[in-house]
């Protein structure tokens, strides 16, 4: 009888030890996952802070970059100037415009510092390479610099129009949505 009772106690002890070990393993795994998640969040936050310091984004107006804007009326204008570590500025504008043709004409008529490197007409282009470049650029831009959520819209909407305007030193890429009349303009300053 003692042997049976001893066998039952040993079996119960082993079963309880197994359950305790399983609980400990689950707790350790959960703690590791939480620690990895917190570490990833902290690293991303630190990277964003450092990129923001490096990139130096500041608010700008369309008229400060394009002073000869004639009768152009822009609504809901948002503009950012991004200065990369090498000192080259890059402008990003978002606005609504009622007259796309006037916008393109205004950009083409902007003064240039080198007519030989400039064009006197805008060019309608395929948007695939533009979307690809912007997707690449988005990876390096700090999350709080500019809202790039419109990328999903332009990837899926076939009615979006893309234009290039080259007036040295400014090379503009204009993305126009005819449905909403929203414009996203990227201005690269050439040196």
Task: Say if residues 91 and 59 touch (Cβ distance below 8 Å).
Answer: no
**For the domain bounded by 57-189, which CATH number is listed?**
3.40.1000
Per-residue pLDDT of the chain (191 residues; tens, 9 = 90+): 767 766 777 776 766 666 677 777 788 787 777 777 776 676 666 555 554 555 557 889 998 998 877 788 899 898 888 876 677 888 989 999 999 999 999 999 998 888 888 888 999 998 888 888 777 766 666 565 556 677 777 777 888 999 999 999 999 999 999 999 999 999 999 87
Task: Say if residues 152 and 115 touch (Cβ distance below 8 Å).
Answer: no
Helices within the chain (DSSP H only): 2-55, 62-65, 100-108, 128-140, 150-156
CA distance 11 to 17: 10
């Amino acid at each position: 009888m003692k042997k049976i009772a001893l066998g039952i106690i040993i079996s119960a002890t082993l079963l309880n030890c197994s359950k305790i070990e399983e609980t400990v393993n689950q707790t350790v795994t959960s703690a590791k996952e939480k620690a990895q998640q917190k570490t990833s969040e902290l690293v991303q936050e630190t990277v964003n802070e450092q990129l923001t310091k490096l990139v130096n984004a500041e608010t700008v107006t369309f008229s400060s970059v394009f002073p000869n804007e004639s009768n152009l009326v822009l609504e809901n204008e948002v503009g950012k100037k991004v200065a990369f570590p090498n000192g080259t500025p890059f402008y990003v504008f978002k606005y609504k415009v009622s007259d796309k043709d006037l916008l393109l004409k205004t950009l083409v008529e902007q003064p240039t510092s080198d007519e030989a490197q400039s064009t006197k007409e805008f060019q309608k282009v395929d948007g695939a390479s533009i979307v690809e470049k912007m997707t690449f650029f988005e990876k390096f831009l700090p999350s709080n610099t500019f809202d790039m959520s419109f990328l999903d819209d332009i990837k899926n909407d076939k009615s979006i129009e893309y234009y290039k305007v080259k007036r040295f030193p400014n090379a503009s890429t204009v993305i126009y949505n005819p449905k909403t009349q929203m414009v996203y303009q990227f201005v690269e300053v050439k040196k």
